[in-house]
Structure 1
Amino acid sequence: MALGDSQTEGLGDGDDLTGLRGWADRFADHLVRHSPGLRYANLAVRGRLAHQVRAEQLAPALALRPDLVTVVAGMNDLLRPRFDADEVAGHLEVMFAALTAGGARVATLTFPDLTRIIPVARPLSARVPALNARIRQAASRHGVTVVETVHHPVVTDPRLWTPDRLHASPLGHQRIADAMAHALGLPGSDDAWTRALPPPDTQAPGTRQAAIAELRWAATYLGPWLARRLRRRSSGDTRTAKRPRLTPVHPPSRPPTAQPDRDTPHPAKEPT
């Protein structure tokens, strides 16, 4: 079972017309190859803050009595003006405690350095390590497995992110799924997800090109995101979980493949 926000829902990997996949679905595909009869639910909804994940998803998760649960939340909180690392980690810890007390094995992950992905986020640079430290502490108290993505430079490679820079690309989602499998010690998993991608086919943009790209990104993604914040709206206001019940996962005909390890275009996604 997967709890969380847009990253766990799968934004950046598919679309709302053809269906979202995402790292949690890819991880379930890995699991079912070793656990025939696996049933899987994904309660994640885009735009949710940590307290909303706790309020809306914890009780339904406990009612379904899962054996394995992933809990990933806090990125949306990081981007809010009134961010409180202790408060966010507190909501995560309540979920860790309740789920492990119910007999579930629980896994979570740390967050990458936002400033390597979004240069304008430098004023928020201290928030990520503060939250990551508290996630580790809460996880340690409840025997929760932590996927340490933050320690590996590849996680901020632009090719692992969609153009909005907030959601993983299909390749990025596959890397997260592989990281989760490796952290949990699943058969056939290894540390290949930590390895750097091959050099890109294109040269890095010059200073002027980079500046133009930043302005274009701000107009396309940052502006609409700020407008929603001012209106106190979220991209998930009318959304519900895509997979609210435990249903069977059918083994893929072959191991899931990500997009090639090179810079490829992705459809634009609006930040949550």
Structure 2
Amino acid sequence: MIPPTSPSRSSDARRVRALVTLGDSTTVGLGDPLPGGGWRGFPSLLRDALGGPAEVALTNLSRSGARMACVRREQLPGALAAHPEVAVLCVGMNDTLRSDFDPVVLRGDCAATVSALRAAGAHVLMLRFHDHTRVFWLPAPLRRALRRRIDALNTVTDVIAAGDPHGIGVLDLHLIPGGYERATWSVDRLHPSERGHRMLAAGFATLLAGAGFAVPQPVSLQCSGGRQVSAADRAAWLIVKGVPWLVRRGRDLGPVILEGLVTELVRGTPASG
């Protein structure tokens, strides 16, 4: 369990007045529903830690299904127009789940996005992704294929961050205590639960405090203000969205599974997961 973020109010700490978040459905806030509808998610929780809506302008440009190229093409212009002190980039998992996954192309889009944000003066926060197969069941061949792709995605992050270690902070989800616990994930096991979103916000806030930014309020890991997900909600998700999603991804990644099986047979790799 990550401890709640310690407030940082040092007189020489830099205040964040404009926060931009770019990415996919996790950045939209999926998994952290609000009682009146819609989503909250880590962007709002991080904004509150940095001073709240009265002091920090949050521009959340994310959309469900976005890939790295979408962020560069569709979200980056709006991010630059917001003149952020801090920009959070949370994207890439949708790329790993598509049959046209190309780490070289992904690296080009990611590098261009981060370079543009840094050139505009933003401190950039990125993610190293966890082993998603530890929280979401997949058939063994698909599990192995996804692990390889997540490794490739994390390598892209590592290379880009290493080129600007003072201007880029990286939150490693694999190392967050409690990150693989069931309560950290929503019913779909693809998006963080409210608790998971709070852990993300706390992790990002800690990185910002370490980089010299003011974090006036701690990020509490105590769940509050969200809508409790019921057993009926879980059943509805499984029927309406869960099974259709698995069918779509199975079709899309069928060639990937076949290629992985052939590679393993050639190399003599055991077929077990």
Cα shift at 1:230: 8.8
Deviation by residue 1:126-148 (Cα, 9 ceiling, x = unmatched)? 22122112201112223311112
Shift of 1:77: 0.7
The corresponding residue for 1:102 is 120
Secondary structure, in 3 states, of the residue corresponding to 2:87? strand
User: Of 182, 185, 190, which aligns to 1:166?
Assistant: 190
Partner of 2:207: 183
Find the partner of 2:42 among 16, 23, 42: 23
Q: Which moved more, 1:18-27 or 1:81-90?
A: 81-90
Q: Which among 88, 99, 107 is matched to residue 81 of structure 1?
A: 99
Partner of 2:244: 224
Q: Decide whether the 8 Å contact of 1:69 with 1:106 is kept in 2.
A: yes
By how many angstroms is 1:223 displaced? 2.9
- Residue 231 (structure 1) shift: 9.8
SS at match of 1:109: strand
**CA 1:189–1:149: 2 relative to 1, 3 Å:** farther
Q: Secondary structure at the match of 1:106?
A: strand
C-alpha deviation, 1:89, in angstroms: 2.6
1:112 is matched with 130
1:3 positional shift? 0.6
The answer to which of 77-86 and 52-61 deviates more is 77-86
**1:219-265 CA deviation, whole Å, 9 max, x = no partner?**
66553114556999xxxxxxxxxxxxxxxxxxxxxxxxxxxxxxxxx
Written as runs of structure 1 = structure 2, the 5 A alignment for 1:124-135 is: 124-135=146-157
3-state SS of 2:179 partner: helix
Alpha-carbon distance between aligned partners in 2 of 1:135 and 1:5, rounded to the nearest angstrom: 16
Counterpart-to-counterpart distance in 1, 2:78 and 2:133: 35
Consecutive unaligned residues of structure 1, counting only runs of 5 or more, are 194-215, 233-272
Change in Cα spacing, 1:73 to 1:16, as seen in structure 2 (3 Å) is farther
- 1:162-190 per-residue CA deviation (whole Å, 9 max, x = no partner) reads 11110110010000000000111154789
What is the Cα deviation at residue 58 of structure 1?
A: 0.4
TM-score by length of 2: 0.68
The one-letter code sitting in structure 2 at the alignment partner of 1:162 is S
Question: Identity percentage over the alignment?
Answer: 35
Aligned partners of 1:36, 1:16: CA distance in 2, in Å? Answer: 22
For 2:25, the equivalent position in structure 1 comes to 6
Structure 1 residues 100 and 117: CA distance shift in structure 2, 3 A = same
For 1:45 and 1:217, locate their aligned partners in 2 and report how far apart those are by CA, in whole Å.
19
The answer to whether the 8 A contact 2:33-2:40 is kept is yes
- Structure 2 contact 49–219 (Cα < 8 Å) conserved: no
Residue 122 of structure 1 aligns with which residue? 143
Contact 1:181 1:189 in 2 (8 A): no
Rate the CA distance shift 1:109–1:230 in 2: closer, same or farther, 3 A: closer
Alpha-carbon distance in 1 for matches of 2:110, 2:37: 31
Structure 1 pair 175/153, CA: closer, same or farther in 2 (3 Å)? closer
1:47 aligns with 65
> Which runs of 5 or more structure 2 residues have no equivalent in the other structure?
1-19, 222-235, 253-273
RMSD over equivalenced CA pairs, Å: 2.9
**Alpha-carbon spacing, 1:51–1:191, altered in 2? closer, same or farther (3 Å):** same
Contact 1:73 1:92 in 2 (8 A): no
Aligned residues: 209
